[in-house]
Structure 1
Amino acid sequence: MTAGRRSRSVTDRPETPWTRPVRLAPADLLRLGLVGVLTRRMRAVLSAVGISIGIATMIVVTGIPASSRQALDDQLTALGTDRLQVVADRDAAQDGTPVSFPEESTAMVERIGAVDAVTAVANTHTSVKRSDRVGPLDESGLTVLAARPDLLDVVNATVGSGQYLTKVTERLPTVVLGSKSATRLGFSEVRPGEPAPLVLLGEQWFSVTGILHSVPLAPDIDRAVLVGWDAARRHLGFDGRPTQLFIQADEEHIADVRAVLPATVNPVSPSIVLVSRPSDVLAAKRSAEATFSGLFVGLAGLALLVGGIGVANTMVISVLERRREIGLRRALGANRGQIRGQFLTESVVLSGLGGLTGVVVGVLATTGYAALSDWPAVIPLEAVSGGFAGAVLIGVVAGVYPAVRASRLSPTVALATT
């Protein structure tokens, strides 16, 4: 019985206040965990690469769509999620005559309570020529639209050069060109102080006073020649009936406004009134991007799984290679809990370093891509914090088995390992 007692390991004796092992402080435990990482740097780097790739991929595949979504939201705001367009159904005319709305339709739409602004344009069905020397077959094919001075505010358009129609110039034979119509007619800009270029509308010469930037909300304006409402009446035989309305309304009541517009614009024949919302197309694009984001998040999860397996493999090999170290520490008084804590801390440190590297790489990659695409850089906080927390969790899971295995090694067996 005495021999049996002597064969017991010192560390397996019952603990007393004098023989109880000293608890390791968190700082000491961290230093112990760093021993394996710092002494086997190349292996640590290669093991952390898998975690880094997974975390970086997760941040990139969430950050880039978030940046794109923010840019799209900004674009939707600029285009106007509160805007509606009303056009006439061209197929409604049985005799081939142009379809238009009543002259008072704009005033009737203004009476709708949720409508903030409304303006109109009208196709004057007039030809446009750069010179009177060209024949009918050489016409530009552009559309001459009668427009009002408030058009730019409602459709978020801006002037590229020159100036837009005013309350004075809309009565004069002056025009403003859309971006594409200016290119087709051969005008690059309108220079102040120089004679205004001329275009021939029907049989009347008009001076060009301005050129617009592209108008995403109303692309038809890019291919149009805009003439004042009163000038179109006076010089082009315009009857004053609009063919297209642009409406800005309270976004909370946009659906209600949309529902009552056909009967308001044309009470006699509401069926010929077509109402569209320009931002719907871009919203559909955002939905498609969300689908692809889900696919890439799945790939990022797969990369994290592979990285976790790599860390677990590294820790198992580390236990096998460091059995003498484990036996020596056990012989010097380290208990099983301290051995488990050492290897578990090493696994967490290894994964944490990989996760931190992945966060930095993912943020830099997302920021760089957003800058190249001229988007605002958006890094989702939940992706960064969740990615790093996921890396630490992987370190815990990957380190449990190697840590338990190391703690179960007998000091005599571990020291006898060659």
Structure 2
Amino acid sequence: MARTPVRARLRAARLGPRDVLHVGSAGLRSRPVRVVLSALGIAIGIATMIAVVGVSASSQAQLMRELDRLGTNMLVATPGEPMFSGEDVKLPKDAVGMVGRIDGVEEAAATGDIKEAVRRSEKISEDETGGIAVKAATEELLKVLRGEVAAGRWLNQASGRYPSVVLGHVAAQRLGITSPGQQVYIGDRYFTVVGILGPLPLSPEIERSALAGWQGAQKLLGFDGHPTSVYERSSDSSVHAVRKLIASTVDPRNPQNVQVTDPSSALQAKAATKGAFSGLLLGLGGIALLVGGVGVANTMIISVLERRYEIGLRRSLGATRGQIRIQFVTESLMLSGLGGLAGVAMGAAATGIYAYSGGLPWVVPPWAVGGGFGATLVIGTIAGLYPAVRAARLSPTLALHAA
């Protein structure tokens, strides 16, 4: 007795990864102008986010390099606020030696304020100071500050006894001094400029000063020998301990008359707050990204409406609803991915231009690149879901008939 053959159940062919990419990119290849315009919204959002993070990271990297070079182990002792009005608080003349004897202190130096104005010539009024102070300085000051002489030389035992000064770079600019050998007028005589300092981010008061030798200032400018600021460097491990001891060491009877500050804290705070406005700009970038996602969704919905005949034909040839959904979700992902790649490149390029123009290191955090591109994929998936579901629900008969 012959057996009745059993008919095999028909199953829809599965789409491999290569097939999914092929059908998903078909709509992109046929409408290149629309693809570019739709991806542009995504690209602008991602570029904004990458550029904001990159610029902030580059600026912070520069500040941290500056901190590493200058160190965070410098403290400055200055006279505190007087308890009674009219009281004159001064540091002892041997304050530098006192600070230098504290355990952990490696170097110490001082400056003292001088009540004189520095002018380009005696014909300029004394009231026109240009915000430049005149200070006496010990020979160790430049070493403690880790500063550099941009031109000329620093004060030494010989030049510090005679009418010679070293200018901070801001003071030199305001006085119009471009090179050593020129003269400035202080008190009642001319002083020869023997050096011009480079920038000192930890000591902006030195940048705006004319520095005379300690002994020369006492002999020529009436300096009383009391330091106004004592700078010290200690080992990193002993900074906190030294800070607690400075005031009581300099003035054991009235430690409240000594104020101790950490100049590096300003740069540290600046580095910490460099991204204060990054959140706002990132929010604007996120809004641009969402607008780009809406544009992608709109493009996909229009694509579904325009391609009803294609969808109906594929369904009539055996494509399942799941395959239709995968096709349009893949197309949306590819559209968003192209915008994301373009946005990452644009953001990195903008960061590079900013860093190059400002002399900063070019830093684009990997997490920003990965997070930004991942956001585009999420946006693409969400934007493509509704159009994909709508396309899958189209009836093959109605789609072909409508076409």
State the AA in 2 paired with 1:352: G
SS of the residue corresponding to residue 290 of structure 1 reads coil
Query: Residues 243 and 260 of structure 2 are in contact (CA less than 8 Å); yes or no, is this contact kept in structure 1?
Result: yes
Q: Which residue pairs with 1:161 in the alignment?
A: 151
- Structure 1 window deviating more from structure 2 (374-383 vs 408-417): it is 408-417
Q: Which residue pairs with 2:392 in the alignment?
A: 407
Q: Which among 16, 32, 55 is matched to residue 64 of structure 1?
A: 55
Alignment of 1:168-183 (within 5 A): 168-182=158-172
Normalising by structure 1, we get a TM-score of 0.83
Alignment of 1:226-375 (within 5 A): 226-233=211-218, 238=223, 240-251=225-236, 253-375=238-360
Give the Cα–Cα distance (whole angstroms) in 2 for the partners of residues 19 and 139 of structure 1: 96
Q: Which residue pairs with 1:384 in the alignment?
A: 369
State the AA in 2 paired with 1:100: K
Identity in percent? 46
Q: Which residue pairs with 2:76 in the alignment?
A: 85
SS of the residue corresponding to residue 291 of structure 1 reads coil
Q: Which among 167, 177, 183 is matched to residue 187 of structure 1?
A: 177
Shift in Å, 1:392? 1.1
State the AA in 1 paired with 2:198: H
Shift in Å, 1:359? 1.0
Q: Which residue pairs with 2:3 in the alignment?
A: none
State the AA in 1 paired with 2:205: D
Alignment of 1:102-121 (within 5 A): 102-121=92-111
Q: Which residue pairs with 1:152 in the alignment?
A: 142
Shift in Å, 1:25? 2.0
Q: Which among 107, 113, 134 is matched to residue 123 of structure 1?
A: 113
Q: Does 1:26 align with 2:17?
A: yes
State the AA in 2 paired with 1:322: R
Deviation readout 1:29-88 (Å, 9 max, x if unpaired): 101111001111222222212211211121122222222222232334445433222111
Distance 1:46 1:109, change over 3 A: same
Deviation readout 1:311-347 (Å, 9 max, x if unpaired): 1222222222212112222222322332222111111
Structure 1 gap ranges (5+): 1-14, 191-195
Shift in Å, 1:388? 0.8
State the AA in 2 paired with 1:107: G
SS of the residue corresponding to residue 170 of structure 1 reads helix
SS of the residue corresponding to residue 123 of structure 1 reads strand
Q: How many residues align?
A: 398
Query: Residues 90 and 226 of structure 2 are in contact (CA less than 8 Å); yes or no, is this contact kept in structure 1?
Result: yes
Alignment of 1:209-224 (within 5 A): 209-224=194-209
Give the Cα–Cα distance (whole angstroms) in 1 for the partners of residues 37 and 192 of structure 2: 71
Give the Cα–Cα distance (whole angstroms) in 1 for the partners of residues 259 and 330 of structure 2: 67
Distance 1:140 1:30, change over 3 A: closer
SS of the residue corresponding to residue 277 of structure 2 reads helix
Query: Residues 64 and 271 of structure 2 are in contact (CA less than 8 Å); yes or no, is this contact kept in structure 1?
Result: no
State the AA in 1 paired with 2:13: V
Q: Which among 36, 42, 46 is matched to residue 51 of structure 1?
A: 42
Structure 2 gap ranges (5+): 1-5
Distance 1:346 1:233, change over 3 A: same
Distance 1:52 1:223, change over 3 A: closer
Shift in Å, 1:136? 7.7
Normalising by structure 2, we get a TM-score of 0.86
Shift in Å, 1:245? 0.6
Distance 1:71 1:147, change over 3 A: same
State the AA in 2 paired with 1:109: V
Give the Cα–Cα distance (whole angstroms) in 2 for the partners of residues 313 and 136 of structure 1: 71
Give the Cα–Cα distance (whole angstroms) in 2 for the partners of residues 141 and 392 of structure 1: 56
State the AA in 2 paired with 1:68: S
Q: Which residue pairs with 1:394 in the alignment?
A: 379
Shift in Å, 1:279? 3.0
- Structure 1 window deviating more from structure 2 (246-255 vs 372-381): it is 246-255
State the AA in 1 paired with 2:390: R
Shift in Å, 1:371? 2.3
Shift in Å, 1:270? 1.3
Give the Cα–Cα distance (whole angstroms) in 2 for the partners of residues 275 and 405 of structure 1: 70
